[in-house]
Amino acid sequence: MIFVWDLLLLIRIIMFSAVLFFFSVLTPIFLYIWLYSVLSTRWKYIWTSISKLDICDKLLYTSTSAEAGNSNPMLMTSFMNFVDRVLLLHKMSAINKFSLSCKKAYDVNHVGTWISAVLSCNVQDLCLDISMDESFVFPSCLYGCESLTTLKIMDGCLKIPTSVYFPNLKVLHLADVSFCGRHPIQQVVFRFPVLQEFSACDIRWREIDTVDIYAPLLKTLLKQNFHNNHISI
What residues does each domain of the chain span?
2-232
> If you count them, how many residues does the chain have?
233
- Whole-angstrom Cα distance, residue 100 to residue 85? 15
- Whole-angstrom Cα distance, residue 56 to residue 24? 9
Q: Which pLDDT does position 20 carry in this prediction?
A: 46
Q: CA-CA distances (angstroms) from residue 167 to 116, 148, 153, 182, 233?
A: 19, 8, 18, 22, 17
Q: CA-CA distances (angstroms) from residue 91 to 9, 38, 191, 229?
A: 38, 20, 32, 43
Residues 130, 100: contact at Cβ < 8 Å?
yes
Buried/exposed 135-164: b ≥16 CB within 10 Å, e otherwise: ebebeeebbebebbbbbbbbbbbbbbeeeb
Listed residue (91, 148, 75, 86) closest to 114, CA to CA:
86
Which segments within 76-229 are labelled E, that is strand?
97-102, 125-130, 150-154, 157-160, 163-165, 171-181, 187-191, 197-206, 210-214, 220-227
Which ranges of the chain have pLDDT less than 50?
1-20, 22-23, 25, 29, 64, 66-69
Alpha carbon dihedral 89, 92, 94, 96, in 10-degree steps, equals: 120
